[in-house]
A and B are shown apart, each in its own frame.
Chain A
């Protein structure tokens, strides 16, 4: 392998490792910070917007109940920010969302690191890489369905706190990730063919 491309590979491999470890530290740090901050405030803030498109003009008083400490409705009435009383459910909801999001990113990075390791060892066409690329493809394809499922679960739980008779839960569709996932399946097949050719080549002396 050319010295220059070897160097590039090492740089990419190093960068992936750095990003991997940074993300884990960030995940842990963010969780600790969030818990400490909410304990200090005495309530749980959901800054990640729940996208509720309201079909009529509403005011904050409508949402007042013992569990909601404050509500902010943005000018276009498309977002609600809730400060919910501390409870096991509010903490569980936050961590559930965080872990699901983190799972996708970390799994993709983990598989990419392993692929680059094998390329660095000058063995890109191994069956393990075929499986890894297929796993990454599946993660890309499943990302949006899982996001929708999460939104649905969040919606059901939030409805316990907030009565929204006239809201519509919004779902956005971006086919980019699904298309990337499908392309990766094709690439996995190319790697599989490369593996088969390599195996056949090994049987020649």
Chain B
């Protein structure tokens, strides 16, 4: 897939662990880990909204596109 997930970068900028972020977002650590590694089929808008709110970033900071 050509979509790259930079969640770990934003998490490092905010100095927040996966466990804390999953607690704040009310998403399981498993799902968040799958999202971080780009192994999910898609992200819902409300999940993206919650991530951007917690990490004080924009969707473009978390999601990137490169040519295959």
Interface residues of A (CB under 8 A from B): 200, 203-205
The secondary-structure label for the interface of chain B is mixed
Interface residues of B (CB under 8 A from A): 27, 31-32, 34-35, 40-44, 47
Measured CB to CB, the closest approach of chain A to B15, in angstroms, equals 22
CB nearest neighbor in B for A203: B41
Q: Which residues of B contact A203 (CB under 8 A)?
A: 40-42
Total of A-B residue pairs, C-beta within 8 Å: 19
Give 19 A-B contacts (CB < 8 Å), ordered by A residue.
A200-B41, A203-B40, A203-B41, A203-B42, A204-B40, A204-B41, A204-B42, A204-B43, A204-B44, A205-B27, A205-B31, A205-B32, A205-B34, A205-B35, A205-B40, A205-B42, A205-B43, A205-B44, A205-B47
Q: Which residues of A contact B43 (CB under 8 A)?
A: 204-205
Q: Which residues of A contact B34 (CB under 8 A)?
A: 205
Measured CB to CB, the closest approach of chain A to B43, in angstroms, equals 5
CA–CA, A203 and B27, complex, Å: 13
In the A-B complex, the 9 residue pairs with the closest CB atoms: A203-B41, A204-B42, A205-B35, A205-B31, A205-B40, A205-B43, A205-B47, A204-B44, A204-B41
CA–CA, A200 and B40, complex, Å: 10
